[in-house]
Amino acid sequence: MNMIQAINSAMDVMMERDPTVVVMGEDVGFFGGVFRATAGLQQKYGKNRVFDTPITECGIIGVAVGMGAYGLRPVPEIQFADYIYPALDQLVSEAARLRYRSAGEFIAPMTVRSPFGGGIFGGQTHSQSPEGIFTHCSGIKTVIPSTPYDAKGLLIAAIEDNDPTIFFEPKRIYNGPFDGEYDTPATSWAGHADAQVPTGYYRIPLGKARIARAGGALTILCYGTMVHVVEHTVAMLGLDAEIVDLRSLVPLDIETIEASVKKTGRCLIVHEATRTSGFGAELLAQVQERCFHHLEAPIERVTGFDTPYPHSLEWAYFPGPVRIREAINKIMKD
- How do residues 100-112 score in pLDDT, each as one tens digit? 999 999 999 999 9
Nearest to 162 by CA among 129, 192, 135, 139: 139
List the domain boundaries for the chain: 3-195, 210-332
| Per-residue pLDDT band at 55 (split at 50, 70, 90) | very high
What is the per-residue pLDDT for 172?
Answer: 97
- Residue 1, Cβ neighbours under 10 Å: how many? 20
What is the per-residue pLDDT for 296?
Answer: 97
Q: What is the pTM of this model?
A: 0.97
Average predicted confidence (pLDDT) for the chain: 97
Chain-centre distance of CA 120, in angstroms?
Answer: 17
Half-sphere exposure of 5 (CA within 13 A, CB side): 15
Do 76 and 24 contact (CB within 8 A), yes or no? yes
Do 218 and 264 contact (CB within 8 A), yes or no? yes
- CATH of span 3-195: 3.40.50.970
**DSSP letter for each residue of 248-312:** EEETT-HHHHHHHHHHHS-EEEEEEEESTT-HHHHHHHHHHHHHGGG-SS--EEEEE-SSPPPST
Q: Do domains 3-195 and 210-332 have the same CATH topology?
A: yes
How much of the chain is helix, strand and coil, in % rounded to 5?
Answer: 40, 15, 40
3-class SS at 180?
coil
User: How far apart are alpha carbons 190 and 193 in whole angstroms?
Assistant: 9
Return the exposure string of 135-151: e unless at least 16 CB atoms fall within 10 Å of the residue's CB, then b.
bebebbbbbbbbbbbbb
Q: What is the pLDDT of residues 188-224, one digit of tens each?
A: 999 999 999 999 999 999 999 999 999 999 999 999 9
As a whole-number percent, the residues of the chain with pLDDT over 90 amount to 100
Task: Note if 126 is an active site residue.
Answer: yes
pLDDT at 295 over 70: yes
As a whole-number percent, the residues of the chain with pLDDT over 70 amount to 100
Q: What residues contact 57, with CB distance under 8 A and at least 6 apart?
A: 78, 83, 84, 85, 86, 87
Q: Please, what CATH class does the domain formed by 210-332 belong to?
A: alpha beta
Which of 126, 228, 232, 271 does the annotation list as catalytic? Answer: 126
| Per-residue pLDDT band at 334 (split at 50, 70, 90) | low
Mean predicted confidence (pLDDT) in 238-260? 98
